[in-house]
Amino acid sequence: MPNEKNLVLVYNLFMQYKNNPLSPHLQIYKWQISSLLSIAHRIVGVINIIAITAICIWSLLLLLGIKSYQPINLFLNTFFGKFMAVSLCWTFSFHTLNELRHLIWDLGYGFDLKVSKITGVLALIGSFVLAILFYLLGKNIF
């Protein structure tokens, strides 16, 4: 079992007196559309879970009557509330389109680097287009 002296000795020998960066790959790594979309997909998934929970709570408040629904109605009619609604349209659109991309990969297609880049850009642009369409559709209906 290693003791503290051995650990300090090993650390001094290998790490302390060297001026090596901790993560050299981060300094030379070139970001790609696939890595950015993967990170965004995970973040947006967490945001969507929180949003779905908030929508469920909001729906339950509708059952309690107008007094419990009124604060949420006031919030959704502010600029920030509308911005949040449009932003959630984008997060759901992006997550759906990127998930379709992943389903195509699960079928064994789209692994070519060029196809992967094209579908990534299409998912990103398509999510903005869908969010704008949802906003315009909701604005005309409601």
Judged by phi (left if over 0) then psi (alpha if -120 to 50, else beta), residue 65 lies in left
The pTM (predicted TM-score) of the whole model is 0.75
For residue 41, being part of any structural domain is answered with yes
Per-residue pLDDT of the chain (142 residues; tens, 9 = 90+): 567 777 677 767 666 556 655 665 666 777 788 889 999 999 999 999 999 999 999 888 888 888 888 888 899 889 999 899 999 999 999 999 999 999 999 999 988 989 999 999 999 999 999 999 998 898 877 6
For residue 11, being part of any structural domain is answered with no
Which residues touch 27 (CB under 8 Å, ≥6 apart)? 21
- CA 113/CA 137 separation, integer angstroms: 35
For residue 98, being part of any structural domain is answered with yes
- Determine the structural domain holding residue 127 and report its residue range: 33-141
For residue 136, being part of any structural domain is answered with yes
Q: What is the CATH number of the domain that holds 47?
A: 1.20.1300.10
The b/e string for 61-82 (b: 16+ C-beta within 10 A; e otherwise) is eeeeeeeeeeeeeeeeeeeeee
For residue 44, being part of any structural domain is answered with yes
Q: What are phi and psi of 92, to 5 degrees?
A: -70, -40
For residue 23, being part of any structural domain is answered with no
